[in-house]
Structure 1
Amino acid sequence: MQTKVIYDIYDVNSILKEVALKAKTNINSLEINLKSFTTYIKKYNAYRLLNTSAGESIDDDLLFENKDYEFKQSYDFCVRYKPKDRLFDVIVNNEEVILHLKNGFIAPKDEIEINEFINTIDSIKVQKRVFLRHLNKQKEIIMQNLEDVKDKDKFITIYKCSNFIDKKGGVLEFFIKDVATSAKNIIALSENTKIARFIKQKDGNSGRDIFGKYIDVINTKIESPKYSNDFNIIDNDEYLEYFNNKSGFVSFFDNDFTFNEELNFKNIQNVDNYKFTGDINTNTKITIGTNGEFVDAIGSGVQILANKIIINGNIGANVKIISKDLELNGQSHKDSVILTKEAKIDILKGNLKGDKVTIESIENGVIECNILEVNQVNGGNLRAQNININELYYNSNIEFSSKCTINNLKGGNNKIIFTPQGNISLKKQINILKLDLDSKYAEQQTLNKKITGLIYKYNKFQSSANELREMIKKYKEQKKEAPSYMVENYNYFLEIVKLIKSLKLKNIDLDKNKNEIETKIKSLQKEVFQAEFICKEGWLKYNDVVFELILPKVYSSKTIIKGIGRYYFDKESKKIIHQKIFVDEQQEIDNYGF
């Protein structure tokens, strides 16, 4: 496709959008084919044609660099489809135009090819809003550097601004994720971490950029960040690199790097604009307190990160705590999140993931860890490998994979669940395998639909195919060539047969893969068969004891009253056994679904 010539257009990209809409195609698949252009100069508040007969030339740098004048260009062009395999492009920035010859580029050989090549370059420049000037000089540069490109790409600067130089540098770039230069950054870092680099400032110069706009460059001095003896600075030609000498907190705000191993705060609020980030495996400690019992030690929306965190007070909504060791002498909001390895907490109302956790009271909190010690539980979802609860009240789900002990069960409507997902590590592995298994089932379902469709075609065409085979056989016996339609139709049937066999083999492979995944999941679940639940006293309300497997999918529950004792799962009878403590008696609990 190529349109008729479109005349006297200032904004070629607006025309490309219109053509793309009419042709119902992507604008990126179109380009212009430049035919000619006209340059205008603005003097005394009005544009007029550049008067070449009076000696005015767009290539005259004195004229072009006069800041009192303005220039614009209009273009005559066609619109055409862009070739998909073009091995050159034009790169532009404020100061220069660069011709990019890609690996495999073959140079044009004659004058016609060269002129077409250069016209395409100018067309691309116009689409990128580059002001066209010094085209003869550009052609000389291209001709001097034009060659076949092998092994690696070639870059040729074909135009550079006469006076204008863009100011560069004066910028601080961090190598640490999630650093916001507008915030008060507190970064937990290990020893000798490359923190940031300051790109040295290079002054610019006023003049016209490649788009024909006059730019007044103001060179304002930008200072590099200040720092103390806790940092090591490497001075390169182009930039300064900042390293911390020791493991700890690196704070950055007001263009200043400071270092601490311990920090103390009171009543951190979102408006304080602190940004905690970095690595918890560092020598870092934060202590946070409060000025009053009705004010949260950590206000809503704040994130805190450190190796060791001590909080003397409550934490608000949407607070996120990330640590290796946490001590919370207060309560967490129901919409808070704690990620830690070890924790000691007064009251948990929010969400927590950890390894070894000790809690005084859980009140509708959600917790997932490996070892859990709790004094009182009154509502919530608890999941751990090993759980020890002193007093359990109402409305809690307790999931475990190895051992659960309740000293005193004082309430009802609780669920105590034997499940392999109580082990965090196993849960992750099982979930990954389960996703893989589900994808295999989905793939097989699609495959079976294809096979069913092909078998339908096979049954439909089998009789005709047998007849065609016999007819083709007779032609061969007579040493004649069978008609092409016979051969084509018979080959079509053979392709169906071939495809059915291929898909059935693939189906067998999928069955094998599914069996392997299912075997792995079943193997990972073995821990739960050795699990036990002990309730030492209490249990005067209705509570459920549940045994759960991921594969085969089993969820069976039995509501029990007066159930103190030991519980375990017997694989042979496929029942949960209730063994009364201190009494030589045991009871089998029916478990439906096994």
Structure 2
Amino acid sequence: MGKVSSAIINTENVYGDLEVAAKASGVPVKDVDVDILAVHTKYMIGEGEIQSVEDLSIFDNDEFFLNPELHIEQSYRVRYYDKTVTEKTHLPKIAIASNKTLTKIRAKILADSEVRYTADLADELENAINRTLLKYGFLIGVRSNNLKNEVRRVASLIRVNGALIEDVIFDVAQGIEPLEPIDDAMIYHYKNKVENADDPNSSVLSVVSENETIIEYVKSKPGRNGRNLKGELIAVTEAKNENAVEIKTTEKIRKEEDDKSIRYIAISQGYVSDEGGVYDIKEKLEVNSVNLKTTGSIEAGLDSDVTINVTESDVLKDAIGPGMSIETSTLNVQGSVAEGASIKARSVTIGGLTHAKSAIESVDADIATHLGTLTCSGEAKIDRLEGGSVRARVVNVNVAVGGSITGEEVYINELNSNCTITAAKLVVINQLRGRDNRIIIDIMQTPEYAKNLKVYTDEKQTLGRELHKLKANLQDKLSLINSNTSSVGYVKKRIEELSATGTEAPASLLNKLKDYQSLVYEYNTIAKHYRTQKERYDEVIAILQKMQDMIFDSKVVNKGRWVELNDIKFELIEPRKSICYVTKENELARVITIRHLEIAGEHIYEIKKSNEMPQELL
């Protein structure tokens, strides 16, 4: 360039020739810039003839653009100029970004308070974007029909607002993203439901629901090549077909097929069984024992309708091994449960004994000899309790030799020594043979009662605090009303006198009367709310009293004679206190309750003994 400000040439390597032009003209390359004046596009299919393209929309046809033999070339007519001596329109900064596959280009034009509208602004913006595309090797004008409209929109924004007040982002060009092929796959969904499948202690069962897909063969699907905005083909591999196997099932599994997959679906709820390569849905599992070596833990789920029968009955062997866990709908164990075992089921039957360090949760349970921890939401039946713990709504124990029993109702055929029995409503003992037992009546052991008690107790406290504040507020407003009554009376009289003479009352008098009336209205509104809350407070007090009185219906029943040194305790709720009684040797008191007396305003609670058995317990 030298003494001239610019030079126009045709080139296929714009930025490579820029350095040559700068060197030839003696201008530092940093001072040389380029304008794209024209773009010449050619293409060829395979070894065919080279075709010049005037209308670039030919590349908008996906089928044509994806032809694997398509080759696109561009050359450019450009003007190199010395930007230190050539005036150019001030442009905002432009950032260009593409996705990983180079099939999408997006431009971000940054807000600029200095930019001003000119007639050639849109062209200059387009040229600036194309120069950046060219710098990174992208084709210009190919699949970028939206570019001209977007730069015109930006120019219009600048024209209207006098500047570019916020960033503008838009898509410049869009190639074709490749679609990866889908390889065929055999998916055993039921196995994926088993947690820690590689753990030898994990469950051997996979429980499925009705209409749940247990196995699925996903058919292969071919992919599709893509082409990026440099004109490069993005080839994908062929889809693989390597995993198809024959699946044999019973009538409890149905087969459904479409163009995407073959699905094997459970007709009913249960666990998936694979016996000799034939898949089935079963509801009953029978094993000799559950241990680390043979089965691992079994997690069938409480709502699975799966019954597990464990047949090991040898007292010297564990039917449920150490540390094993079982979760199922119904569990029947002929033998014993070892240390650290954990059982959750809706129904549990154990024919042997439970280890002291075992834990069982169920709705109902029937256990021969219990030394561990048992929690039931329904009924627990235990033939022999030896130091174990049981909590249930209703507890039936044949022989109790130490241990802890908690329930709403507790029935014991033979009670020996060192037991703690806590009941909400009733304890019935057929034969008492021991001492040092603790029998506690505490209605807080009824979960629903305890929950309701907390709700109403909390409400009582909340209402009490609110009533205290309301009462104080009422007293303050009443005092203010009373102190202003006489002066307001004068104001009313004065307003009436002025009105009678046709004179308008001063605003100060009217405002004073209005303030007084507002005060009275506020007082009446608060008083009404106070009465409503007080009524509810009295209702809650009555409910709590009724709940408290439930303890007077609770009973401790011993159908035989008492042995000495057995403690009986009734726990009052309000006031919170214990009423205790210690039995005497050979004492005959078949029914022990608590009663409430009020003497001279003093509340007295005392033990009441009777030999009249309730009809329902005879």
Give the counterpart of 2:505 among 473, 476, 480. Answer: 480
**Does 1:529 pair with 2:529?**
no
Tell me: CA distance 1:331–1:200, structure 2 relative to 1, closer, same or farther (3 Å): same
Give the counterpart of 1:435 among 411, 430, 454. Answer: 454
Tell me: CA distance 1:465–1:538, structure 2 relative to 1, closer, same or farther (3 Å): closer
User: How far, CA to CA, are the matches of 1:442 and 1:274 in structure 2?
Assistant: 49
Corresponding residue number in structure 1 for 2:24: none
**Does 1:445 pair with 2:464?**
yes
**Does 1:133 pair with 2:174?**
no
Deviation at 1:271, TM superposition (A): 12
Tell me: CA distance 1:417–1:120, structure 2 relative to 1, closer, same or farther (3 Å): farther
Corresponding residue number in structure 1 for 2:536: 510
Consecutive unaligned residues in structure 1, runs of 5 or more: 1-42, 44-50, 79-110, 127-131, 136-159, 583-594
Contact 1:231–1:242 (CA<8 Å) still a contact in 2?
yes
Tell me: CA distance 1:563–1:537, structure 2 relative to 1, closer, same or farther (3 Å): closer
Corresponding residue number in structure 2 for 1:103: none
Identity value in percent: 10
Listed one character per residue, the Cα deviations across residues 50-87 of structure 1 (whole Å, up to 9, x for unaligned) are x9948699x99989789589978766369xxxxxxxxx
Deviation at 1:444, TM superposition (A): 0.3
The structure whose Rg is larger is 2
Corresponding residue number in structure 1 for 2:420: 396
Pairing of 1:310-389 with structure 2 (within 5 A): 310=333, 312-317=335-340, 319-334=342-357, 336-353=359-376, 354-389=378-413
User: How far, CA to CA, are the matches of 1:195 and 1:448 in structure 2?
Assistant: 60
The alignment partner of 2:337 has SS state of coil
User: How far, CA to CA, are the matches of 1:383 and 1:363 in structure 2?
Assistant: 16
Instruction: Supply the RMSD in Å over aligned alpha carbons.
Output: 5.5
User: How far, CA to CA, are the matches of 2:416 and 2:585 in structure 1?
Assistant: 14
The alignment partner of 2:300 has SS state of strand
**Does 1:163 pair with 2:185?**
no
Contact 1:227–1:256 (CA<8 Å) still a contact in 2?
yes
Corresponding residue number in structure 2 for 1:461: 480
What residue identity is the alignment partner of 1:576? I
Deviation at 1:343, TM superposition (A): 1.0
What residue identity is the alignment partner of 1:480? A
Deviation at 1:178, TM superposition (A): 8.1
Deviates more, 1:278-287 or 1:214-223: 214-223
Corresponding residue number in structure 2 for 1:231: 253
Tell me: CA distance 1:275–1:347, structure 2 relative to 1, closer, same or farther (3 Å): closer
User: How far, CA to CA, are the matches of 2:302 and 2:585 in structure 1?
Assistant: 49
Listed one character per residue, the Cα deviations across residues 296-335 of structure 1 (whole Å, up to 9, x for unaligned) are 8233362321323215232333613313241151223446
User: How far, CA to CA, are the matches of 1:421 and 1:277 in structure 2?
Assistant: 34
Tell me: CA distance 1:195–1:265, structure 2 relative to 1, closer, same or farther (3 Å): farther
Tell me: CA distance 1:133–1:554, structure 2 relative to 1, closer, same or farther (3 Å): same
User: How far, CA to CA, are the matches of 1:481 and 1:196 in structure 2?
Assistant: 88
Contact 2:460–2:541 (CA<8 Å) still a contact in 1?
no
Contact 2:302–2:344 (CA<8 Å) still a contact in 1?
no
TM-score (norm 2): 0.57
The alignment partner of 1:410 has SS state of coil
Deviation at 1:228, TM superposition (A): 2.1
Corresponding residue number in structure 2 for 1:576: 607
Pairing of 1:198-213 with structure 2 (within 5 A): 203=221
Deviation at 1:252, TM superposition (A): 8.8
The alignment partner of 2:205 has SS state of strand
Listed one character per residue, the Cα deviations across residues 80-136 of structure 1 (whole Å, up to 9, x for unaligned) are xxxxxxxxxxxxxxxxxxxxxxxxxxxxxxx98xx99xx99997xx7xxxxx5258x
Contact 2:427–2:555 (CA<8 Å) still a contact in 1?
yes
The alignment partner of 2:336 has SS state of coil
Tell me: CA distance 1:570–1:361, structure 2 relative to 1, closer, same or farther (3 Å): closer
Consecutive unaligned residues in structure 2, runs of 5 or more: 1-15, 17-33, 42-56, 66-71, 73-97, 113-155, 499-503, 598-604, 614-618
Deviation at 1:396, TM superposition (A): 1.8
Contact 1:188–1:279 (CA<8 Å) still a contact in 2?
no
Contact 1:348–1:359 (CA<8 Å) still a contact in 2?
no
Tell me: CA distance 1:164–1:344, structure 2 relative to 1, closer, same or farther (3 Å): same
Contact 1:185–1:251 (CA<8 Å) still a contact in 2?
no
Tell me: CA distance 1:297–1:277, structure 2 relative to 1, closer, same or farther (3 Å): closer
User: How far, CA to CA, are the matches of 1:185 and 1:374 in structure 2?
Assistant: 36
Contact 2:187–2:216 (CA<8 Å) still a contact in 1?
yes
Deviation at 1:520, TM superposition (A): 6.4
Pairing of 1:273-284 with structure 2 (within 5 A): 274=297, 276-279=299-302, 282=305, 284=307
User: How far, CA to CA, are the matches of 1:120 and 1:175 in structure 2?
Assistant: 58
Deviation at 1:357, TM superposition (A): 0.7
Contact 2:370–2:388 (CA<8 Å) still a contact in 1?
no
Listed one character per residue, the Cα deviations across residues 417-453 of structure 1 (whole Å, up to 9, x for unaligned) are 345566xxxx244234323312321330342243144
Total equivalences in the alignment: 452
The alignment partner of 2:320 has SS state of coil
Corresponding residue number in structure 2 for 1:493: 519
Tell me: CA distance 1:519–1:575, structure 2 relative to 1, closer, same or farther (3 Å): closer
Listed one character per residue, the Cα deviations across residues 362-404 of structure 1 (whole Å, up to 9, x for unaligned) are 3141322414123233132332524114242215234262341
Tell me: CA distance 1:271–1:265, structure 2 relative to 1, closer, same or farther (3 Å): closer
Pairing of 1:98-109 with structure 2 (within 5 A): none
What residue identity is the alignment partner of 2:467? N
Pairing of 1:160-199 with structure 2 (within 5 A): 162-165=176-179, 180=195, 182=197, 184=203, 186=205, 192=210, 194=212
Pairing of 1:35-50 with structure 2 (within 5 A): none
What residue identity is the alignment partner of 2:249? S
The alignment partner of 1:501 has SS state of helix
What residue identity is the alignment partner of 1:349? G
Contact 1:567–1:576 (CA<8 Å) still a contact in 2?
no
User: How far, CA to CA, are the matches of 1:224 and 1:134 in structure 2?
Assistant: 48
Tell me: CA distance 1:288–1:509, structure 2 relative to 1, closer, same or farther (3 Å): farther
User: How far, CA to CA, are the matches of 1:564 and 1:293 in structure 2?
Assistant: 43
